[in-house]
Amino acid sequence: VTRLTSISVDLDSLEHYCLIQGLSVDLLDARARDLVGAVAVPRIMALCEQLACPVTLFVVTSDLVQGASLPEALRAASRAGAELASHSHSHDYTLSRWAVEAVKADLEKAHRLLTDLTGQAPLGFRAPGYTLSAALLEAVVAQGYRYDSSAFPATPYYLAKASVMAALQLIGRPSKAILDTPQVLLAPTRPYHPALDAPYRKGQAPVIELPVSVTPRARVPVIGTLVTTAPWPLAQRAVQALADEPFVNFELHAIDFLDQADGIPPQLAAQQRDVRVPWAEKCRRLSWTFEELKRGREVLTLAQAASKVQVT
């Protein structure tokens, strides 16, 4: 059986980072609002083409009106073979608490805008903030999507951004974290059909859940932010810990392809420390990571992987 890798990028605009950090979106000038479409998407596509890695881009469709360059950048990416998938219309972090009809309307709007953009209907969804609910899963199923890729079965201890570096130092001795958080260890880390009323458990839903990759035992999240910001030998160890996984779902954000010099306001950079790593350094680390994740594996978009992965 061929091992598979998928690489995906959530294209959250800087506005969403301001909201997370409690900063006013008025900090963002026209250039900052346009960075994802004008700078990040072209860098993503250049790197993926250079390394012959197909990529899936998760689009927040309300951002299509924000960044002047985004619609055309996405059409170009789609023509070049990128998969465009839905990251919701609103990117509201409370989406998982909305009533089912409101969630369905949001996903329907995202679906329509993406289909209008490229002429191709999206096949998959990722929830804002990685949080699923029964209502959200019902809306994903109602769209007829092939896959959902929202589950992030990382040990919660590791999820707080500030603790990622400390967490990495625990890779070698994960037992303490495991004892602290028995419930998260029940969430599957490999592709599965979720239960309609409990998306983090296995069941009968007619959609495949493709969880974001975490290391097998300690469940350290192996994502773009870790690769670009953690001490390099530890980041390398985390990526290499995925070597025996049948399917790797490596998740990044557009901001992993940007740095402060691109025009990110200093107030945001002060809180979002990953943007202080220069793009040249991020690019070097990401290139190494993509090559590592390609080794002995077939690299596919998430939609392609959903048709091919072994589902447990």
Instruction: Considering the complex, state which of residue 128 and residue 194 has its C-beta at the smaller distance from Zn ion.
Output: 128
Q: What distance in Å separates the CA atoms of residue 110 and residue 113, rounded to the nearest whole number?
A: 5
Instruction: Considering the complex, state which of residue 86 and residue 229 has its C-beta at the smaller distance from Zn ion.
Output: 86
CB of 237 to Zn ion, least distance (A): 27
Q: What distance in Å separates the CA atoms of residue 67 and residue 71, rounded to the nearest whole number?
A: 8
CB of 129 to Zn ion, least distance (A): 7
Piece of 2-10, 29-37, 162-170, 225-233 that binds Zn ion (CB under 5 A): 2-10
Residue with the CB atom nearest Zn ion in the bound state: 12
Q: What distance in Å separates the CA atoms of residue 247 and residue 210, rounded to the nearest whole number?
A: 9
Token readout for 75 is 């059409």
Instruction: Considering the complex, state which of residue 4 and residue 223 has its C-beta at the smaller distance from Zn ion.
Output: 223
Instruction: Considering the complex, state which of residue 12 and residue 15 has its C-beta at the smaller distance from Zn ion.
Output: 12
Site string for Zn ion, 116-155 (x = CB under 5 A): ------------x---------------------------
The radius of gyration of the chain's CA atoms, rounded to the nearest angstrom, is 18
Place of tokens 């109602």: 142
Instruction: Verify binding: residue 12, Zn ion, rule CB under 5 A.
Output: yes
Is residue 121 exposed (0-12), middle (13-18) or buried (19+ Cβ within 10 Å)? middle
Residues in contact with 258: Cβ distance below 8 Å, sequence separation at least 6, in sequence order: 35, 36, 39, 40, 264, 275, 279
CB of 12 to Zn ion, least distance (A): 4
Instruction: Considering the complex, state which of residue 92 and residue 245 has its C-beta at the smaller distance from Zn ion.
Output: 92
What is the total count of residues that contact Zn ion (CB under 5 A)?
Answer: 3
CB of 137 to Zn ion, least distance (A): 18
For 158, phi then psi, to 5°, come to -85, -15
CB of 125 to Zn ion, least distance (A): 12
Instruction: Considering the complex, state which of residue 10 and residue 15 has its C-beta at the smaller distance from Zn ion.
Output: 10
The beta-strand segments (E) located in 216-285 are 247-253
CB of 186 to Zn ion, least distance (A): 25
CB of 63 to Zn ion, least distance (A): 10
Instruction: Considering the complex, state which of residue 124 and residue 174 has its C-beta at the smaller distance from Zn ion.
Output: 124
Q: 212 in helix, strand or coil? A: coil
CB of 297 to Zn ion, least distance (A): 26
Token readout for 214 is 């975490």
Token readout for 133 is 């609910």
Instruction: Verify binding: residue 92, Zn ion, rule CB under 5 A.
Output: no
Q: Closest Cα to residue 309, out of 234, 208, 213?
A: 208
Residue selected from 6, 7, 9, 10 as contacting Zn ion according to rule CB under 5 A: 10
**Whether the Cβ atoms of residue 16 and residue 60 lie closer than 8 Å to each other:** yes
Q: What distance in Å separates the CA atoms of residue 293 and residue 303, rounded to the nearest whole number?
A: 18
Instruction: Considering the complex, state which of residue 10 and residue 106 has its C-beta at the smaller distance from Zn ion.
Output: 10
Q: Which residues bind Zn ion (CB under 5 A)?
A: 10, 12, 128
